[in-house]
Structure 1
Amino acid sequence: MTLALRAMTQLAAWPDLSEARPGCGTGRALRSDRAEILHFHSDHEVDLHLTARAIRRYEDHLRSTGAVRMVPGSRWVTVRLEVDSDIHLLLTLVSVALQSHQAWPVPDDSVPADCNEHRGAALPRTILSGS
């Protein structure tokens, strides 16, 4: 079982998430009653929808992990699933996303554009971390 499938299986059991068609048309998605939260695009990449406030609050932490790719101006972050600990990171970030979207609409947040799927492939962890 791939890491993405394991993560999808765990998250699909969360009561605040349900499976949906991804707005980008690629892969599988999970959404809350307020917004699309996750797009599973491959066995190793997941796009996660955060609010602008959540991205600002956790930006330093998001940038410091090699498993996360941020695209300037996007409310989506791409999480690269390569090791088991990446699933734990994803679960934590999904919890942050769900809590962030509880306050939707947030005055300084706009409706997000498409996820990061068509904005280029995520770089491998070794390139992101500089090793």
Structure 2
Amino acid sequence: MTLASRALAQLATWPDLSQAVPSCGLGQAVSSAQGEIAHFHSDRDVDLQLTDRAIRRFAKDFKDSGAIRVVPGSQWVTIRLDAASDVDLLLTLVSVALQAQQAWPDPLDRPPAGCNDQRGAGFVKTDLSRI
């Protein structure tokens, strides 16, 4: 069992989540009543939708983590699953995402603009000082 399949199996047991077809059409997804939360694109990479406010709130933590990629202007972060601790990080951030969807909805009520899988190649640490 890959780390991604392990994480997806755990998230499928959460009462607020259900498996879904990702809007980007790649891989598998989980959604809440408010919309998509995560896209599993490979055995290693998961895109997670957070609000702009949540991304700003955790920017320093994200910058210090080699497992997280932030794309400026995107409400999605990409988590690279290389170790069991990365799955724990993902599960924690899914909980944050669920809370953020409820507590900090997009004030402009914009539809999320695709996941990070469609935004650039490679897994590079992004300069978070610009967001």
Is there any run of 5+ residues in structure 1 with no aligned partner, and where? none
After TM superposition, give the deviation of residue 112 of structure 1 in Å: 1.8
Bigger Cα displacement from structure 2, 11-20 vs 114-123: 114-123
Q: In the TM superposition, what whole-angstrom CA distance separates every residue of 1:26-54 from its partner, at most 9, and x where no partner exists? A: 00000000010000000000000000110
Deviates more, 1:105-114 or 1:62-71: 105-114
Give, in whole Å, the separation in 2 of the partners of 1:80 and 1:99: 22
Gaps of 5+ in 2: 126-131
TM-aligned CA deviation for residue 117 of structure 1: 0.7
**2:53·2:104 contact (CA, 8 Å) conserved in 1?**
no
TM-score, normalised to structure 1, is 0.89
2:54 counterpart SS class: helix
Q: How far, CA to CA, are the matches of 1:110 and 1:61 in structure 2?
A: 26
- CA shift, 1:108, in A, is 5.7
1:85-96 pair list within 5 angstroms: 85-96=85-96
Task: Confirm or deny: 8 A CA contact 1:37 1:97 kept in the other structure.
Answer: yes
- Alignment RMSD (CA, Å): 1.5
State how many pairs are aligned: 125
Offset from partner CA, 1:68-94 (integer Å, 9 cap, x none):
000010000000000110001001100
2:18 is the alignment partner of 1:23: no
TM-score (norm 2): 0.89
- Distance in structure 2 (CA, Å) of the matches to 1:79 and 1:122: 13
Matched, 1:100 2:105: no
Name the % identity: 61
